[in-house]
Amino acid sequence: MGRSYSDIKDYLRGISLESYIIFYRVTDSGIEILRVVSGYRDYPSLFADSSDD
């Protein structure tokens, strides 16, 4: 479920809720919520320096 944001990070998925995007990744035991941000933000830049690959 949710949209793939693999153009930002290969594991990244997101789902919209009102004017926010909940970014998460699928793990062996479920999901891990990475960030909840406004959909108006420049969210690709939020993951540019992330070291959680």
pLDDT tens-digit series, residues 25-41: 999 999 999 999 998 88
Q: Is residue 13 part of a domain?
A: yes
Question: Would 53 be classed as within a structural domain?
Answer: no
Q: What is the predicted pLDDT for the residue at 50?
A: 55
What is the DSSP annotation of 14-51?
EEEETTEEEEEEEETTEEEEEEEEETTS-HHHHTTT--
Domain count, the chain: 1
**pLDDT at position 52 over 90:** no
Is 26 among the domain residues?
yes
What global pTM score does this model have?
Answer: 0.80
